[in-house]
Structure 1
Amino acid sequence: MIYVNARFLTQKVTGVQRYAIEICKLLPKEILERKITFIAPKKAKLNPLFKEFDSIAVGKLEGQLWEQIDLPMFLKKKGNPLLINFVGIGPIWYKNKIMMVYDLAFKHHPEWFSKSFQLIYNWFIPMSLNNSKHIITDSNYVKNDLITTYNLPSEKINVVYAAPSSVFVKKQMNKEAMILMVSSLDPRKNMTRVIEAFDQLNIPHKLVIVGARGTVFSDLEIPEPIKKEKIKFTGYIEDEELVELYNKAELFMYPSLFEGFGIPPLEAQKCGTACLISNVTSLPEVYQDSVEYCDPRSVSDIKNKIYDVLTNQKKRNALISKGFLNVKKYNWNRSAEDFILIIKNNINKKVN
């Protein structure tokens, strides 16, 4: 038997949950004659995916307590089978697990997170990593960061890239005078500098910001914009509406200060929209020459790059073409194949 920690089915879908869902949809029923079962807290029954996956609900607790108490107790009764942990810390003392890590922002920038979150993650993630049979991450940037930060052996870590969902496609829609951002409302997404830069520009465009505030992040002080009538916060929206915004936008912005991969620009590229993103962490690895880059800590550079791309149709067309080529490098089917191979290679590996 192989179990998947499906606590992510109790959480709102952001980048890490989307990664887990997309890979899990492509996992077979069995790997090397071992049945795959999704195990989750009882609250997960509310998610339609609970029935789509071969799932069971166990225990009486929720959240971290379920993961650290109910889950390992259940696994011990089943003979300590292989566990796949896609999101969060995972049961820290359980060793027969493959653990997914998306980035180490909590380690390098604890000020971006709530005090309780960053304390828990900085205390328990190193333990869980050391107690894992194998680790998977979403970019070479994060792999190297794990090796350097926690002195982990390179052979213990594999990279499996993310990809855009099939729901994001180019539609026959006219572009509008709109700049689009898609991200959670947290400090590392850098929207305060974007708002400052936008306020300094004399352009007809509106700025649309899609995303909701997460409970794990520290408070984000959003400046009172001068052109507040031209800035719209939509909150969380469903993919069907998001596809239309991607298609209508003339420019997609992702000036993040820290990313382990960064899926939204791929979604925008798939919808035929030019992208302006930051030049830090994993983003140059993922996007190479298919985007315009900016210094995320410079309001003036963000402002100048926005103006340059929006006033240069030839550049936008070139970025759109390069975007379509770049997005072809990333495919959930290929990523799932890589993930399955890693599981096969670790099923019978002895637990230290």
Structure 2
Amino acid sequence: MIDLCIDARMALSSGIGRYICEILSFFRKGFLRVTLLVDQLGYDWAQGFDQIVFNTPIYSFREQLLYPMRIPTCDFFFSPHYNVPILPISAKKQVVTIHDLCHLEFGTPLQKSYAKFMLKKALASDIIITVSHFTKGEIQKHFGPRQVHVIPLGANERRFKVLSPSSAVRGRYRLPKKFILYVGNNKPHKNLHMLKAAFQNVQLSDLALVMVGKGTPYGEIEEGDLCHIYNMAEALVFPSLYEGFGLPPLEAMASGCPTLVSKAGSLPEVCSDASLYFDPNNASEITEAIRRIVTDQELKKNLIQKGFQRVKMFSWKKTAEEHLKLFEASVHA
């Protein structure tokens, strides 16, 4: 039996939250005893696991003071983000997943200092996981050679798939008839100012830009509605300047939505030849990519088919199994 404690307080965050909830669904194994640190009780995704309430803010001084008192005696303490405990804890080994080094690249001076300090602590963990070879390279560029396990994220094929048009979802969000879609938050590295500027020059009167996610015009979308929106979109456009992985392009591919993505970060690694690429710093290239996908039906059809093939290479089941293999190997090492 492996005793595993997971800091699950970020389960409602976008990318990291999806990661936590998806792999947890495969952690209901006979050889695992899982305990979750949660900010409150009652979450559906946490049902069936032992839970310890730890409603202290992420990145806080109080978080670090209370970690040793909240983390039970266990074989592994798993941090799904780099905010690892600094003080000694009652875990035989520590595991961390570092999704990206975005705070080092785009943070304020204070954020950069904090990120550098905490990443050094995180990289002292017994098992270091990251989600792309790009991020592994970034870690080694900033902090030198070390053993880092690359485990790509997945796409939920039960949630993201081809669906019939939903007039209810269209009406609920007052979606235009024909639109290009962006999914994500509005943080600076998401490059939304460039996307807006580029879209103004598309000059197709019947085409709209729909941006969904925290801080965007349409805001956060009900979980069950996102797949319908992917299905209705002409294409997903993802103009990020930096990504550690990038889940929305995979979700779009699984939903039969062609993808236009930037050449930055991990995106070429994740999307391979199944996307149409552009320079995220060149508004004209973004404009041209949008025009092409709307007017070239053969291109659109080709990208949809390549997307279906590409997304088959990623599954949350495989992601979870690779984690479990690391835990088992470390126990027996």
Q: Is the 8 A contact 1:163 1:331 kept in 2?
A: yes
Distance in structure 2 (CA, Å) of the matches to 1:59 and 1:141: 33
Matches of residues 250-289 of structure 1 in structure 2 within 5 Å? 250-289=234-273
Distance in structure 2 (CA, Å) of the matches to 1:22 and 1:39: 14
Cα gap change, 1:348/1:2 in structure 2, threshold over 3 Å: closer, same or farther? Answer: farther
Matches of residues 1-352 of structure 1 in structure 2 within 5 Å? 1-9=3-11, 12-31=12-31, 35-41=32-38, 43-50=39-46, 52-58=47-53, 61-63=56-58, 64-65=60-61, 67-75=63-71, 78=73, 81-94=75-88, 96-111=93-108, 116-130=110-124, 132-153=125-146, 156-165=147-156, 166-173=158-165, 176-203=177-204, 204-213=206-215, 233-349=217-333
* Structure 1 residue 116, shift from structure 2 partner: 5.0
Which moved further from structure 2: 321-330 or 303-312? 303-312
Which moved further from structure 2: 298-307 or 164-173? 164-173
Q: Is the 8 A contact 2:195 2:286 kept in 1?
A: yes
* Structure 1 residue 14, shift from structure 2 partner: 0.2
* Structure 1 residue 104, shift from structure 2 partner: 0.5
Cα gap change, 1:266/1:184 in structure 2, threshold over 3 Å: closer, same or farther? Answer: same
Cα gap change, 1:319/1:62 in structure 2, threshold over 3 Å: closer, same or farther? Answer: closer
What secondary structure, in the 3-state scheme, does the structure 2 residue paired with 1:260 have?
coil
* Structure 1 residue 253, shift from structure 2 partner: 0.4
Q: Is the 8 A contact 1:93 1:128 kept in 2?
A: no
* Structure 1 residue 66, shift from structure 2 partner: 5.5
Q: Is the 8 A contact 1:60 1:66 kept in 2?
A: no
The alignment's TM-score, normalised by the length of structure 2, stands at 0.88
Cα gap change, 1:8/1:305 in structure 2, threshold over 3 Å: closer, same or farther? Answer: same
Which moved further from structure 2: 246-255 or 93-102? 93-102
Distance in structure 2 (CA, Å) of the matches to 1:300 and 1:91: 45
* Structure 1 residue 255, shift from structure 2 partner: 1.0
* Structure 1 residue 65, shift from structure 2 partner: 4.4
Aligned-partner residue type, residue 20 of structure 1 = I
What secondary structure, in the 3-state scheme, does the structure 2 residue paired with 1:273 have?
coil
State the identity as a percent. 27
Aligned-partner residue type, residue 136 of structure 1 = I
Distance in structure 1 (CA, Å) of the matches to 2:221 and 2:24: 23
Q: Is the 8 A contact 1:60 1:70 kept in 2?
A: no
What secondary structure, in the 3-state scheme, does the structure 1 residue paired with 2:280 have?
coil
1:266-301 CA-to-partner distances (Å, cap 9, x unmatched) read 111111111100011111111111000000000111
- Structure 1: 4+ residue segments shifted above 6 A: none
* Structure 1 residue 74, shift from structure 2 partner: 4.1
1:102-128 CA-to-partner distances (Å, cap 9, x unmatched) read 0011112224xxx65444222222122
Mind listing any 5+ residue stretches in structure 1 that lack a counterpart? 214-231
1:136-194 CA-to-partner distances (Å, cap 9, x unmatched) read 110111112112211141xx211111111231110123994210000111111111111
Aligned-partner residue type, residue 54 of structure 1 = F
Aligned-partner residue type, residue 91 of structure 1 = P
Q: Is the 8 A contact 1:167 1:239 kept in 2?
A: no
Query: Which residue number in structure 1 is paired with residue 171 of structure 2?
Result: none
Cα gap change, 1:59/1:201 in structure 2, threshold over 3 Å: closer, same or farther? Answer: closer
Aligned-partner residue type, residue 220 of structure 2 = Y
Distance in structure 2 (CA, Å) of the matches to 1:142 and 1:36: 30
Mind listing any 5+ residue stretches in structure 2 that lack a counterpart? 167-175
What secondary structure, in the 3-state scheme, does the structure 2 residue paired with 1:235 have?
coil
Query: Which residue number in structure 2 is paired with residue 218 of structure 1?
Result: none
* Structure 1 residue 332, shift from structure 2 partner: 0.9
Q: Is the 8 A contact 2:23 2:320 kept in 1?
A: yes
* Structure 1 residue 237, shift from structure 2 partner: 0.8
1:31-83 CA-to-partner distances (Å, cap 9, x unmatched) read 4xxx4222325x32153333x141322567454346422222344x62x6311
Q: Is the 8 A contact 1:201 1:303 kept in 2?
A: yes
Distance in structure 2 (CA, Å) of the matches to 1:97 and 1:211: 32
Distance in structure 2 (CA, Å) of the matches to 1:182 and 1:85: 26
Q: Is the 8 A contact 1:90 1:128 kept in 2?
A: yes
Distance in structure 1 (CA, Å) of the matches to 2:37 and 2:203: 51
Q: Is the 8 A contact 1:67 1:90 kept in 2?
A: no
1:170-221 CA-to-partner distances (Å, cap 9, x unmatched) read 01239942100001111111111111111112112111000113xxxxxxxx
Q: Is the 8 A contact 1:4 1:36 kept in 2?
A: no
